Amino acid sequence: MKRNAIQYGLLIALAGSCAAAAADPVRVDVAMVDYRFSPDHLSLEHGVHYQLHLENRGKELHEFTAPTFFAAAKLDNPQVLNREHTEVDVQPGESKDVFFTPGPPGAYDLRCGDHDWDGMVGGITVR
């Protein structure tokens, strides 16, 4: 009986550590610099949980604008997006994190709403 209790305890500990490891999001870093994203293209896996870390290293406000992508994704913290839920505004020197699971596979547009005219564009691919 004692052996069964030890095995049961080990099984619970193992299951708990697997669940904790599975819950950790995959971090993706994007730097926003006058006037580009680095990287400018993100490749994500459908069903994987992510932490998108946005850092504005530029001198102006930048937006991570991806309305179709954000509409399709399951967001853990939608309050980080603007009122329309289309973009994340990041002030110079500021960083923000978006926790999400991507929506359906496909290609999604990415741009800075204020600087797309100057080439601050990119893309997001969900496989």
**Does the pLDDT of residue 12 top 50, yes or no?**
no
pTM: 0.81
Confidence of residue 30 (pLDDT cuts 50, 70, 90): very high
What topology is assigned to 25-126 in CATH?
Immunoglobulin-like (2.60.40)
pLDDT digit string, tens, across residues 103-113: 999 999 999 99
Residue 5 has pLDDT above 80, yes or no: no
Adjacent-strand bridge partners of 30: 54
Q: Which residues contact 93 (CB under 8 A, 6 or more apart)?
A: 56, 57
Helices (H), 24-127: 67-72
Alpha helices in the chain (DSSP H): 2-23, 67-72
- β-bridge mates for residue 87, sequence order: 65
Domain ranges of the chain: 25-126
Distance separating alpha carbons of residues 93 and 61, to the nearest angstrom: 9
